Structures are given as structure tokens and as C-alpha cells.
Structure 1
Amino acid sequence: MTTNSPSLFLLFPLFISITFSSFPKASPSSTPHSKTTLNRGSSLSVEDKDNTLTSPSGSFSCGFYQLGPNAFSFSIWFTHSANKTITWTANRDHPINGRGSRITFRNDGTMVLTDVDGAVVWATNTTSTDASKAELLNSGNLVITNSSGSVLWQSFDSPTDTLLPSQPITKQSKLVSSFANGALSSGYYSLYFDSDNVLILLYDGPEISSVYWPNQDLNVWQNGRTKYNSTRRAVLDDNGWFSSSDRLQFNASDAGPGIKRRLTMDYDGNLRLYSLNESDGSWKITWEALSQLCNVHGACGRNGVCVYDPTPKCSCPPFYKISDERDWNGGCKLGFDRFNYSVDKDRFVEVSGLTCNATEGDTSTAGSLYMTNGRKAIWVYFYGFVSAVGAIEFLFIASGWWFLFRKRDVPNEVEIEEGYQMITSQFRRFTYGELKKATRNFKEELGRGGSGAVYKGILNDKRVVAVKRLIDVTQGEDEFWAEVSTIGKINHMNLVRMYGFCSEDKHRLLVYEYLEKGSLDKLLFNWSGTGDTLLGWKQRLVKDKIASEDESWVGDLVDMRIMKGELNMKQAEMMVVIALLCVEEDSNRRPTMDAVVEHLVAND
């Protein structure tokens, strides 16, 4: 026994080490109360700060973020970044109380954020009984899915100020900056697609609103953009490349896989792309929209001046001072009081030896404004003189502008009217009163298009006519001219005839032959009707050769460059896009010929 005892002592430490090493180790990125999913009926409480959702990789966390001593938000942040860099917030403008508030995944499939009094501060729009769980993905996207894994709701659809890789910005979404550094509430700057399908940066301040990126001194093409792609979609990929439907493209200076990135609309109005250094949690700027921060509108507020010293710095002009030392958005205000005056009481003094006769009737009173420097009074007739000179100068300038624009406008009106006279001399000229009477004050409307409406009327000679009335005279001048010129040259039994027109003051009307059986498109495409007017299906087809194997006819109809593979597909696609835009039902959305030509030349 004595000879074997040392071996037992040697085996005992080995047994202890093997036993303890068999227990699982906690993930360094997880917390004791973190979880990856939130099931129906469960919740997270604001009191338990470690009770969070964590993505499977541990890169993102979701839970309650402390904004102040007793103010919290429900947010998503980078787990390994310094100071928990926020990527999304549910209630950025409505903080909740630090006690009693919670986020609950209800049994009806809705995720609800409630305050201490039970009031709903934020909720998802999901009311599906099929919703099974809420989960934070490795992409940083918080999703609600059903039992089959389909996404019912996701945080990627409602970004705040940050865009993550694979998260698109669309025509329904936008990035809005925070109000100040370290704050989460909404600020004045935003990134979104405008009505021209262009991705822009907008300053929407308390008093003014203006676009400052892309450069407003250049047109869309000069900025390298296009407005002919209405998809309105932009996305940052995992390698740091950003591409947009308006042809905007840029990339991170450290482009490549394996790096955590974010595109943020910063509080100072600049759009920046950041890369995370996971070793110390710091962020590095790898791209920014504006290299000079003074180009951001509203950076220094009203009356503020942005200067480089050598970094951007806000200052106030002479005799002005900052409105709010903590916030330059308030701008600058006057450094002195414009109205600082005092009024002394007047009284009568009795003087002996004088007689004062009372006068019955109206009296006229007058007063004077003066300024004092503490030693003597200075009458301010000077201000009256300056005001009079200013008023006279204003009248001269206003008169000059009026005569200038009057001279420009009158010849145009004369030229237009002469053009009408020349081009419509073969038609009868109706008065506006005649057509108003014929249509019974435009009572019976036959149809309506992008440029105007058509009404039924009866002339004095009992002829039934169709009267087209242009809605917008300023935009309808060209259509009026073109329609009179074109239809006046056509004489065909199957086309409507033109009887006359009206060009009186701002009224532009065209008088056509009235079609008793309706328009041609209804006869051709209304299959519900009966009669011999409809074309049979065989008559609607093109040549019989289309249905046969004979392809000899193709060369007569199709550009042979297509058959030889010499066609530029990019130009062809561009032509199709422009063609579709030119036939938009809303005439206001159709591009001008200048824009069409410019786009064609740019893509030649």
C-alpha cells in the first residue's frame, strides 16, 4: 500500500482538472441574462439592464439603453463598440421611465413597448396569430417571424440614423440625424430619395429648408446621377460598396470582407461611412459625403458664420452673439438692444403774470423720438431722411423691374397670338362666350386627359361638337399650338375633324367634330359590345408569317444589328426607359425634350 500511495496523489489533481474542464464555458460576448430570441408571451424589463437579446455571433445586442438618470430607449447597438454605438431605436423621440417599463411580445403577435403607467409608446404593426418569435439576426436586424420562418416585421424597414450592410434605403424610408452629439432624438438633417428619384441630403430647420447634397449648382447629370430610375433603392454591401438606383456609387477606403461597418447620418449634417476596430471598439471614417463641413447648410444656425481655424468652427459676425452656448443650431442674435428708451412724465408749471386764453376746437399733437448718450440729446431726423431716400430708391427699382419684365412679356404674347392667327387662319375663331353658351357652361363632360377636359356642345347652326378646354394655360400653350397645327393638316374619313378654336385672353379651347359612337379605342378593345365594328382576333394579328416558321420577314421589321449581336444593350434599355417615361399618364411626370436629348447625348 505504501508503494502505491504516491501514484494516487498524482492522479487526484489530474481528475480534478479533467472534471472542471468538462463544464461549458460562457461566451465572452454574452451576459448571464442574454438570449437570442423572445417568444410569445415573454418580455424584457427596464430594471434588469442585463436582460437583452443578442445575435448568434454576439456582434449585436438589443435591449434598454440609458439616455439619462431616468430615461431609457429600446435600441440595438454594436456589442463590441465603445460606448454602445446605437444602430436603431424604437422610441427615439419618446424616452420611457426607468421603472416599470418593458418590451413585451404579446400573444397576438405584436411587440409592444410600454411606459411605467402602461401607456403604449411604440408597437409593431404585426397582429398575426402565426407570429412565433422575435429574433436579433447577425446582420443587426430585429425580426418577427412565423412558424415557417417568414419575416412578418423587421427593424430594417424603419431605420433611424444608421444603415447597416444589406439594409436597403427605399422610397418609403429615410435616415434622420440625431439632434446633438450623444443624443438620440430626431435632428434637422435627413437622407432620402426625392420626387426626382435622386438620393439627397436635406436640412429642414425651424425656419428654412434646403438641399445641400449633391451640389445644387450642378444639374443631375453633372453630379453623376440620373432621375430616370424610379425604383428608389440603395444598399451597402458586406464589402463596403454602396450603390443606388440614381447611379450614386462609393466604397469604403478599407473595402473588403470581415469588417463591421455602418453608414450614419451624423448630427452635424454629414453622411459618413464607418469601420469598426474590434480590438479597442473605436470607429474609423472610411468615406464621407462632404469633405468640407462648412458646406453643410444650417451648420451654424441663423446669422452664424462657419470658418476654418483650421478645423470647422462657428462664429458670430460683429455686434452679434451666440443665442445658445450649448447649441449652435440657434444661431446668432444681436448683441445689443434695439429698443432701449425711457419716457419722462410731462406736467404744467404755473407762471404768474401771464394770461392764457382757452381755444375751442381740435388740436394737433406731435412727438419726436430721440436718443441719448447720457450727456446730450440727438434728434433723429437723420432716420427720417434715410427712410425717405430708401423709399424713393425702392420705388425706382420696382418701377425699373416692372418695365423690364413688361417689355419681355409683351412681345412674347404678341408673337404667340400672331402664331395662332397664322396657323389657324383656315378655321373659324369662336368667342369664349359662344362656346360657354354652346356647352351650357361646360356642363356635360365627355372625357378628361392630362392637358384638359372635353365637353359636349351644340352650336347656333345645330351642329353637335366636342369642345376641348385646356386646364393649365401656361403649360397648355405648346399642346394647343401643336394640336391645331397637326390636326389642321389631316383630312381622313376615320379621324375626327376640327371646326375651329378659341384664343381669347387666357382661354384656349379647340372645337372638334362630335363622335356619336364614342372613341376608336372603345370600339377596338371593348369586347363586351357586339356588332360588326369590332375587329376579329385574326384581323388583329400581324402577317401570317409571324405564326409560321418562315423568318425571312424579320429583316423587314427588325434592325439587323440585333441579329448580328452589334446592339448596345445598355443604350437599348435606356431608350425603353425614356420611352416609358414619355408616355406617362400624368403629363407633369413626362421628361422635357431638353432632358431627353441631354440623356441621349450623355449615353451616346
Structure 2
Amino acid sequence: MLLLLVLLLFSSLQLSATAIDTLALGHSLPWNETLVSEGGNFELGFFSPGNSSKHYVGIWYKKIPKQTVVWVANRENPIVNPSTSRFMLSTHGELLLLTTPSDTLLWSSNASSRSPPLATVATLQDDGNLVVRRSNATSSRSDDVAWQSFDHPTDTWLPGARLGYDKGAGVHSFLTSWTDAENPAPGAFTMEIDALGRPKFDLFASGGGGGGARSRYWTTGLWDGEVFANVPEMRSGYFAGFPYARNGTVNFFTYRDRTTKMGEGNFMLDVNGQMRRRQWGGAVGKWILFCSEPHDTCDVIGSCGPFGLCSNTTSPACQCPAGFAPRSEQQWKLGNTASGCVRRSLLECPKDAFLDLPYAVQLPSGSSEAAGVRNDRDCQRSCLKDCSCTAYVYDGTKCSMWKGELANLRALSTDPGIAGAVLHLRVARSEVPSSPRAHSWKKSMVILGSVVAAVVLLLASLVIGVSVAVLLRRRRGKGKVTAVQGPLLLFDYNAVRTATRNFSEKLGSGSFGTVYRGALPDATPVAVKKLDGFRQGEKQFRAEVVTLGVIHHVNLVRLRGFCSEGNKRALVYDYMANGSLDSYLFKTGVSDNAKVLSWGQRYVVALGVARGLAYLHEKCRECIIHCDIKPENILLGDDMGAKLADFGMAKLVGHDFSRVLTTMRGTLGYLAPEWLAGAPVTAKADVYSFGLLLFEIVSGRRNNAPTEKGGYGTYFPVHAAVSLHDGDVVGLLDERLAKDADVEELERVCRVACWCIQDEEGDRPTMGLVVQQLEGVADVALPPIPSRLHMLAMANAGAGGVAQDEFYSENTSTSKIATGEV
């Protein structure tokens, strides 16, 4: 008898410890218990986000230690005291969230029936879908489903869920962002399928532009059967498929993920309005972000709110101008900056003043022009007299004024003193610093001396400029060449045409234009890059070129001069007779063995590029990020030394990195992950690209090049990282070198390359340290395999023992995400 009691007690304890995944008809889920899906992937229960005191019913990943909620029931009606609440499947087959007293209804699935079958159950499935079925609980037929959470997503799109509409079933599924990191109430941003039935998604901001109207700020572009036009990241290989259904009443997408091999993944509409594709990296214990759409946070309408200033070169992207502060400090801390900024001090019209933004900004829409204004002072007075005027700009010809709150302010440059119109924001007079006292006699003399010196320098420059122009001009009618600063020359367009013989000898083309061979009037050979589509103001363009013209380094291609006549712009460089590095590394099919660099030459090239980048990053007055490191931009001098070309081009497009990304689509294989994640791009992005370049210098092949057998082999950085840990680096060497290399140097290069392509910027070395490591001055420890590459290796291991080459041949694009080539 005692034994029987023990067995009964043990059975009851075991039963209570067993997780349940189903609610039966009329049963409740207490606040301190949860449902767990059969395979243990997802959990449903009461939760409190972050440090919030409010509670909700939601679904989250069970196996991920950092609670990540993917669905919320009562988004708009939080629970104050969870112990008095219960989540239940009512006798009418309807999911309810009730709280006492009086069983107040906080949420309902609105799927009741007068007499549902007794077999009706609510089950949390292993794909994260909470399903109410009114028949056999084990049936998977769609017509058994009375309600499912997949039809009512919140901010997360899980694999297998449909996003779109099914008019026949009365389903319209779309995503809505959380208000902030601790408040799942619907936020300002939504992702919806095209209302006209076209195969695409759009992102909308409510109240965008400062008004109440809904504004579209990004679109996926049309689906072509494989990818959306504006989402090349879909070629990343982290989707097993992307089925699409469309007819007169149906228009929706779903997708499948490689969850069995790659871990948990999803799409999430962030509180800042970006759609994020992320994957859980179990090996590194964190979410790995693969891409954000739109890439540039500043493309999200209203993301920084009224008077908020957005910049894609700062972190966080949203800032408040001088004289302003966040409207809600708490919301800004939690990632929601859509509430914008307010003035620190109240206005006292007409006794107010103005603060100038110290950098170029994209002017907001909705301005009005003041008549009869002749200068900046008159423009300021006109705005000051109108108490509804909040800002003004005088561009030298007209006075533009804005009324009310300014939305979508965007910094085009964070460099002080950039030429262009200045935006003046109205603030209380107390916010404007008092004018300094009169200069002392000594200070005045110093200023006078500076002015005299400047005049003398100007006169000297003019004399030199005239002399150089006279020497360089052969005869009239062939264009004009003048000295600008030091040896830098200014060409008019006729002079450029003459130098290139009307652009007759094309050397190549790149991200920003086409390169032609030419000659100066004194017969010095040059390479002329004819720039395409530059929208930057002429004054700013000239200022940036002059800055680049004074940069000289043995490993940088020298800028000789430039042309700037309206939209006709060109850069004139020294001519490099030996061409670019790609023609020496990669087989061209014609005289493949004619241009094979020895290992010693490759090592010198790698060190030269590193020194050039270190100079741009650390030795110039301001850090210059190259943004387009690839073999085609590395030219070889007479001694086969490396000279980096196209440096400073990102500055010349006015820091519009989103445009740079668009024009660099052809070389996405060299981009760092932060480009695709929409994060601010720093010099460490160049470090990442340099690491990928090193791998190509070692192997003599593109990182994702086809193998000899056809198709794609293993993505080379994956193979290199694994081989480095296995102690086999000789096998990585270009086969044309027949293993003729210094093994110590080879291993050092591979170690440096692997450190350079680490996922996190902070884990990558600076280019200064890279130079020391390549020179052998600093040691290089064995680097960890980068997380993304580690996940690819995990995928390979989960493919059932498929050989690496065979696996990656089947999953070509999977490997590309590691470098951003998507």
C-alpha cells in the first residue's frame, strides 16, 4: 500500500512538472504558469517587458536566454496586477484575457461560437503559432482553424506566417512596431502589403511629415519570383523559400527559414521604423543583425520627430539641436525618438533670437518665401516679426521661412564650415550665448597681422597661379588650366576634353564614373575620372577637392586637379601604367600566366594598402573613410608598389551614404555588415573590406568565385578561417604560386584578415595596428571565427555531413551574407 502511494505521488509530481502546450475548452492559464510548445521552441504566458511594471500575455522563444517576445495579445490594455488575471479558452471557443474585479475583459480573439465542438482546443505550436481548432486537436487541416495568432501578428514576422490579406477568410495581416522597448502598444510604423494587389510591401509612418497623414517612406519594390527589387539581401540564403499567393481575393507572402540548421530567425519592425532581419547566434549568445530596411535610419519619415535632427554618421542617429531637448527623455532612452524635440526655454515673441545649425542640412518642405528681402538681416527681421515663424534660410537670393514644427531634419554633413545655406532655428533669447567683449589692442594687432599675412599669401598664390597657367596653356581654344592651391590645378571642361582627346581612350569604369587616359599640356600622362550624377553643391565640391588635393602619401594615387562646371565634373590623377590589382590576381582567360604576382610582391601590396588606409584614417586632419576597398581601386606603380585610388569619394558625394551604397551594388561583396544593418559607418568598415581583400590577395581568386568544376565552391573566408584554426594555411595559397611563399608571412596575413572581418567593430583592429602586425612589429593572436562564418559552418555541419564544397554549391548565396554581398 505504501509503495502504491509513493508511485501515485511520483506520478503526480512528474505530471505537474511536464510542460503543457494546450488549453482545453473552458480552461484557464494562471498568471504564474505557461504553455510550452511540444518541441520546446516557444512559450506563452504573462510577461513584463524590461523594467516596466505593466504586464502582458505574449509568446517568446523558450530556448533563447534573452527573452525575445514575438507576439502580444493585450498590446493596448496592459495588466496592472497579473495575480488577479487569467488567460482562458472560454466555453464558446474564444480566447479571453480577464482581470478581476468583475472579470473585466482586457483582450479577446473575437472568434466565439455558440456551440463549439467539445474537442476545441488552443495549442501553442512549435512554429510560434497559437491556434484554436474546433475539431480533432491533432488535425493540421487549415479548415479546422477557428483562429490563429499568425493572422494577427504584432511587430514580428515568423517563418511560416502569412503576411498580406485573404478577403475570403477576412484576414488582413500586417506588422506594427512597438511604441518603445518597454511598451508593446502599436507604434508609429507599419509594414503592409500593397493595397492595389501588387506583389510588394510598403513601410508607412503615421503622422509623417509633422501632420496627421500616413506617409510611405520605403518599399520592397516588386517581387520578380526570386527577390524584391529593393531587397537584394534576399539572396543571402537564409530563406529556404519565399512562397507567394495572389488572385482576386488573396495577396500574401510567407517564408521558410533554415531554423533546423541556423537557429531561430525572424523579421522585426523596430521601434525606429526599420525592418530588421535577424538570426539568433547560439554560439555567440546574441541576436545577429543581417540587414535593415531602409539601410539608412534617416530615410524613415518622422523617426526623429519634430525638430529632431537625423544623421547617419552618429550613434544614436537622432539628436536635438542646440537650444532643444527630447520631448520625452524616457522614450528616447527606450529607442523611440518619434516624439521629437522641444525648446528648452519658452519663446517670448518678438524678443526671441536664432541659433544656426553648424552644418549643412536637408531643408524641410513647406516653406514660404518672404517678399522684398535683400539680405540675411532682412530675412531674420521678417521671421522675427511673425510669431508663427520657427526658422528661416537666406540663400543669397531669396528668404525662405517655416512655420510650426519642423519635421524630417537631416544632416547632410557634420563638418563645420561647409559651404551652403544655413538654417536658423528660433529659440528664446536666453539660449543664445552673449556676444564676446571687444578685442584688446593686442588681439586686434594679431588679427591685423593675420589679415596682412593672408593678403600676402593670396597675392603670392595669384602670381604662382598665373605663371603656371601661362606655362601650361599651349594656345587658345584648347581650354583653360589654372592653379588652385599648391600644385592642384583647375581645368575647365574644354581643357579636360583636350587632355583626353575627347574621351577617346577608356581605361575602365567604377562606382562613380568612367576613367579615361589623358595628358597634361606638358605631355605628363594622367588618368581622368569623369564623374556621374553628382548632386553636391559646387562650392562644397570644390572645398572637398581642395582638401583632398593636399593629401600626399606614397601609397595614395596623387590627385593632380579637377574640373567643376555645373554638372560637368572630373578628377585628374597621376597615370599608373601597370593598371589595377585585379588584373594581376584573377584569371582573365587571356594570358592568365602573364601577370602573376609573386608572394613577395603580394605581401608588399598588402602592406602598402594598409599604410595608405592608416594614413587616411589616422594621419589626415579629419578621418577619411574610403568606403570602396577592392582590387579594382588599387593601382600598381612602376615599382609594383600599391597606390590606393578613389579615396575621399564618399566625401565628394556629400556624405549621402545611402547613395554610395546604391552605386556600389556591383561590389557589395566587400561591404561590412553595418552597411546592411543601417548602422553608422566608421573607419572600421574599411578594415572589414581590407580583410576580405587580403583573402583575395592570398588565394588569387574572388572570395565567392566559381570553382574549376563549375558552380560555387566554399565561400573562401569560411574555408580560410577554418583552415587557420586547423593550422593549414599553405593550402590557401594561389595554386599558380606552387606553394612558393614565406609560411610565416602567409599565416600572419591570414590571421590579420580574420581579425579584420570580425562582426563587431570593436573586435576589429585599427589600420595603424594592422600595419604594425604586417610589419612584424606587433604580434597577431589566433582570431576567433567570426560569428556569421561560424553560423555558416554550423549550417554545414547540420547538412547531414555534406561535404563543404557540395553544401555551399547548393547554397551559393548563403555564404554571401558574411560580407554583405547579397
- Which interval holds the TM-score relative to the shorter structure? 0.3 to 0.5
> Which has the higher Rg, Structure 1 or Structure 2?
1
Which structure: greater helix fraction? 2
- Ranked by relative contact order (alpha carbons within 8 Å, sequence separation 6 or more), the top structure is 2
TM-score, structure 1 as length reference: 0.46
